[in-house]
Every structure is written in C-alpha cells, then in structure tokens.
Amino acid sequence: MYGRFHILLLTLLCSLSACTPHAVREAKQTVQQSDSLWRAGQPYADSAQLAQAYETLGQWALFCPDEYAHACYHYGKLLRANENPVEAMQCFINATHSRTRDYHILGRVYSNMGDIAHWHGDFPLAYDLFERSAKMFLLSKDTLLYHYGLNNLAYELAEQGKKEKTLLLLDSLNGLCSDKGLLLKTFETKAEMYKIVGQYDSAVYYSHMLFNSGNHELTGLLIRAQAFSYMNERDSAVYYANYILSQSPNLLSQNGALYILTQEDDSKNVEDIRKTSADRSDVQKLIEIQQGKYAQAVHLLVQDLQRKPDWRWLYAIIGTVVIIGIGIFIYVRRKQKRHQLLSQQVKELTTMNYVAMQQYERIMQEHTDYTSKLVSQLEQNCHFFAKTDDFPNNLSWKDFDAMCKLINDNFGMLANKLQSIYHLSEKGVRLCILILMGVTDGKQLARMLFYSERGIRTSKNRLAKKLGTNSIELRNFLINLAINNASNETDSSFVYGSK
C-alpha cells in the first residue's frame, strides 16, 4: 500500500510538469513574439495578450523561470510607457525573484528599476540598481551594455555632485571602450555634472560637444539652457528654452524651460509672463502627480529589498527531489528484473544488424562490379566507332534519326534521354555524341558541326550548363547517363569519373 501511494504521487507530479497546459504554451509563444519584436526595435502591440502571458507564466514560474522573467520585463516596459510605474516596478521585482539565469534580461530589468528610482530623485538607490544592472551585463558577457551601465553609475554620481568620483569612473570608461554612442553619453554625464557643481562654462562646453557630435536630444540642450541662465546669458538661455518647448519634450524638460522663460525672458509683456507662469504651474501639477506614482514605485522596491528571503521554494524543491528519487529507485528496481531479457534482445539485434550489413556490402560490391563492366563495355563501343577510318559516317552521321537509333541501341538509349529529359536540339545531341566518342579537338568538333572554334567552346559550355555539369566533366556525365537505367535520374551508386 505504501509503494502504491508513492507511485500515484509521482505519476501526478510528472503529469503536472510534463503536460504543459495550452494556456502556458500560448503564453510562451507570446513571450517569443515579444522578444522577436524587441530585437527588431518594435513594441508588442497586444497589451491584453501580454498581460495574460505575464499572469499565466507567473503561476508556472517554477517550471519556466526564463520565460517568466522575459514576460515581466516586456510587460513592465509596457506599463512604464503607459505611465504606470507602480505596477511596472512590481513586474520588475517579480523578474528579480524568478530565479532565472538569463543575466542579460536581468541587466535590463535592473536598469529599468534604476530609471524609476532616478526619476523619483533617489540617486543613491538608482546607483545601487544600475550597479546591479552592470554586474548582470558583465555576467552575460555583454561588454558594451556593461560599459553603458558604468556610465549610468557615473551619471548618478554626477547628480549627487560627486565630481572626483564621476571623473574617475568616466576616465576609466574612456580607456575601456571606444563606442561612439557611449562617448556621447559620457559628454552628457559630464555636462550634467559640471552644471550640478556650478562650473557652467564646462557644462556649456560639453553640451556643445554633445550636439556637434550628432546627439540632438533635448537633455543636452536643457543643460545648456540652464547653464546659460546661471551665467546670466539671458538671450542664449531664452533661445534654447523656446526651442525645447517647441519640440514637446517630457514634463521635466518643459518645467525647466518654462522656469527659464519666466525668469529670463525680458521681451515678454506682463500677460505673456502670466501665461508662462500659468503653464509652468500646470506642468508642475502634472509632475507632482507623476512623482507621486514614482514615489509609490520606489517605496514598493524598498519594501522588497528589506524583506527577508522566503525559503519555501527551497523546501518545495527538496521535497520534489525526494519524491522523484523514490520514484527513480522503484523504476530502477523494476528495470533490473528485465535487464537480462533486454540484453539478450540487444545481442540478437546486433547479430541481425551485422548480417544485414554484410549482405548490404556484398550487394553494393556486386552493383559496383556490374556498373564497372557497363562502363568498360561502353568505352569499348566508343573505341570501336571512333577509331575506324570512316568515323563519323559509321554512325550514320548524315541521317540524324538513323544515328539516334544506332546510339540508342549501343549506348543505353542515350539519344532518347538527351531529347526527352533535357530537351536538346539536334546540334546539341550531335555535340554530345562526338564528346562521348572522345573527340576533344576544337577544330575537329567545329568542322563536323559547322561551328567556328570560338563558337564550339561557347556551345560546349552552354551544353554542359544545361545538363547541370561543366565542360570538364561533360563526358563522364554522358557515360553515367548512358549506363543509368532510370528515365529521369542521372545519379547512381557508382559514378564514372568521380573521386
């Protein structure tokens, strides 16, 4: 009774793990499609289907941790794009607990978490998350993304006004990587750092370097506008602030630009200034709402980081291993009783296979010998016709039909095969017959077929190409075609002239 209970339990466990539900298979397909679109630089359009895949794989995360981690990443990015950082953060947290060993996806997950912490303004926490992201990219051997991660660390240090540490990290980074895109990001980091520490001329310099190198993102322009404002260069500050507003940037960029226009633009009248102030107030309200969401997301993350590890999954795995071990023990005991019978069957099958192999080799050798005889007979026929004084008249050369009949009778229906399989013209058939007879001299071929010497070379190459071979192997091809009995095949186990 004890043994039957454990066998039933083992069978149930195997059924749950092996028979994947249809919903799980669909969820995995959704994740695969999301990965493909992501690599192509396109978002996954069906948000409802992606959400369903995330929920379904969450229930089976123990059996498919990699797919679940990818689902968390894609759905989290979708939620971030839809301005829902709280649920996005929960997705990213779930990905870190998925026990996946896909370090590349974990690197991107931690990078998104760092972005959320950065926009909330918690730069030390963002630094810690970007550091984890960089380590994951290093484990996945993606050195380029690892170097981008180091720049993210430098940016968080810059936001905290740690000039020496920022420059030290950026200097080491410049020695490690020469990627142009990464170089531009370091310019942005330096521009932000110099703005934070009050070296506004250096901030303007690196923002110019960033723009002149091809990066026209508004982040660098906002740094330049703010630096000009701090330097009391009002006209330049107002110019860039107006440009930033005209490009409809994000709320933080709008707020920075509107602040500059409120404080520095002397060309506006009172009504314009009031309108600008009102616009800035509206933007600030939206930022407060957004910052509230980011605060909730960061609070959710901090709670998770402070939570004690849950070892129930380990106990479940140990219990599963014990149950599987018992099942394997029972299975092995039963197999041992049948081992002798199976061994005898294997010996018999081995003997039968050896006998069959011997028979096969004998048949192949007989076939090879037979084919060699056919080739030898065909070569004798060629010699008989080609070495006589009245060649090619002995082939009824002037009567094409009579010649084809003679060739068919003595050379395995070759003329019919050339006409029916390859649809050769009369001249093509005649050229093939002369080549088969061993006529290699271009002048002789040209004289017999009424071609020029150059024309005969061209015709020979075209003929070989039409037959699927080349001019060097053309005679061997014709011999093989003549000795082959099949009407639509030219290959055989023995190929004359092959090595």
pTM > 0.75: yes or no = no
Task: List, in order, residues 6 or more apart from 476 with CB less than 8 Å away.
Answer: 495, 496, 497, 498
Range of weakest confidence among 165-174, 336-345, 368-377: 336-345
Region 261-287: mean pLDDT is: 74
Confirm if 106 and 136 have CB atoms less than 8 A apart. yes
Could you give the 3-state DSSP secondary structure of residue 144?
helix
Is pLDDT of 2 > 50? Answer: no
Is pLDDT of 489 > 50? Answer: no
Going by pLDDT thresholds of 50, 70 and 90, the confidence category of residue 218 is confident
Q: What is the pLDDT of residues 195-213, one digit of tens each?
A: 899 999 998 898 888 888 8
Going by pLDDT thresholds of 50, 70 and 90, the confidence category of residue 138 is very high
Angstrom distance (rounded) from CA 397 to CA 14: 79
Going by pLDDT thresholds of 50, 70 and 90, the confidence category of residue 265 is low
Angstrom distance (rounded) from CA 258 to CA 255: 5
Angstrom distance (rounded) from CA 459 to CA 452: 10
Going by pLDDT thresholds of 50, 70 and 90, the confidence category of residue 62 is confident
**What is the token pair recorded at 153?**
């660390």
Q: Which of 289, 250, 302 is nearest to 113 (CA)?
A: 302
Is pLDDT of 499 > 60? Answer: no
**How distant is the alpha carbon of residue 301 from its chain centre?**
32
CA distances from 406 to 135, 176, 285, 412 (A): 81, 79, 101, 10
Confirm if 460 and 453 have CB atoms less than 8 A apart. no
Going by pLDDT thresholds of 50, 70 and 90, the confidence category of residue 494 is very low
**What pLDDT is stored for residue 244 in this prediction?**
82
CA distances from 399 to 297, 392, 402, 404, 405 (A): 95, 11, 5, 9, 10
Phi, psi of 202 (to 5 degrees): -70, -35
Q: What is the pLDDT of residues 102-118, one digit of tens each?
A: 999 999 999 999 999 99
DSSP 395: G
**What pLDDT is stored for residue 164 in this prediction?**
92
What is the average pLDDT score of the chain?
83
Q: Describe the crossing of helices 426-436 and 400-410 by its angle, rounded to 10 degrees.
A: 40
Going by pLDDT thresholds of 50, 70 and 90, the confidence category of residue 498 is very low
Q: Which of 73, 52, 91 is nearest to 300 (CA)?
A: 91
One DSSP character per residue, 14-75 reads HHHHHS--HHHHHHHHHHHHHHHHHHTT---S-HHHHHHHHHHHHHTTTT-HHHHHHHHHHH
Is pLDDT of 377 > 60? Answer: yes
Question: Is residue 392 reached through a cis peptide bond, with omega within 30 degrees of 0 on the bond before it?
Answer: yes
Confirm if 190 and 202 have CB atoms less than 8 A apart. yes
Highest mean pLDDT among 250-259, 292-301, 448-457: 292-301
Could you give the 3-state DSSP secondary structure of residue 198?
coil
Confirm if 24 and 60 have CB atoms less than 8 A apart. yes
